[in-house]
């Protein structure tokens, strides 16, 4: 029985690109190779190493110098983050596509919190109507606050303790008076 590639999660590995020219220091570029739905795509790591620091058989960076250990750490962290991200994305009902993978590498997933939140809402098809409306109201109020404060787009890294405190003040003071009929 053949494998059903439609239900497969993307797989990631690293490849030394000896088919590309060396950089000024005489090192080759490393790429992530992502395999998804029977096709491979190459994504740059921004890292370079000497061919002597590459184990072709194992497909990994080898060595113990401080720089090589740093590169190994970066690659390991990115691969672990990639696997964790797509496991979670799949578990929440997200439809994995080439664009989603491209966005992961371009870090668009951190560029626009409201767009991400809308996606979460659209994938939560198991919620009752009342809860779904609360999610939508929350997003609407957050969008109003961001428009008022000229925060566009709201990025994940904008959501700091300070941001949350200011948003809380907005909810407690401004939104409270706005809904009060006696307030002009």
Q: What pLDDT sits at residue 6?
A: 58
39 touches 59 (CB < 8 A) = no
Look up tokens 């740059």; give the residue: 44
Nearest 10 degrees: Cα torsion 13, 90, 88, 114: 110
Q: What pLDDT sits at residue 183?
A: 39
Instruction: Decide: pTM greater than 0.85.
Output: no
pLDDT digits (tens, 9 = 90+) for 25-84: 999 999 999 999 999 999 999 899 999 999 999 999 999 999 999 999 999 999 999 999
Q: Percent helix, strand, coil in the chain (nearest 5)?
A: 50, 15, 30
Q: How far is CA 152 from CA 134, 155, 156, 159, 163, in A?
A: 23, 8, 12, 12, 14
Q: Which pair of structure tokens corresponds to residue 63?
A: 């060595």
Residue 118 burial class via C-beta count within 10 angstroms: exposed 0-12, middle 13-18, buried 19 and up? middle
Look up tokens 């000896």; give the residue: 18
């Amino acid at each position: 029985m053949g494998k059903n590639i439609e239900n497969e999660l993307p797989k990631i590995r690293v490849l030394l690109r000896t088919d590309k020219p060396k950089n000024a220091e005489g090192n080759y570029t490393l790429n992530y190779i992502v395999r998804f739905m029977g096709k491979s795509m190459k994504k740059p790591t921004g890292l370079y190493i000497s061919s002597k620091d590459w184990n072709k058989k194992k497909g990994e960076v080898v060595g113990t110098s401080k720089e090589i250990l740093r590169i190994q750490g970066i690659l390991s962290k990115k691969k672990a983050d990639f696997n964790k991200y797509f496991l979670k994305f799949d578990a929440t009902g997200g439809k994995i596509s080439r664009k989603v993978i491209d966005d992961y590498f371009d870090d668009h997933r951190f560029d626009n919190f409201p767009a991400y939140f809308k996606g979460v809402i659209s994938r939560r098809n198991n919620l009752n109507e009342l809860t779904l409306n609360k999610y939508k109201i929350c997003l609407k109020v957050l969008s109003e606050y961001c428009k008022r404060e000229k925060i566009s787009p709201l990025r994940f890294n904008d959501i700091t303790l300070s941001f949350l405190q200011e948003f809380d003040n907005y909810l407690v003071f401004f939104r409270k008076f706005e809904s009060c009929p006696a307030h002009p």
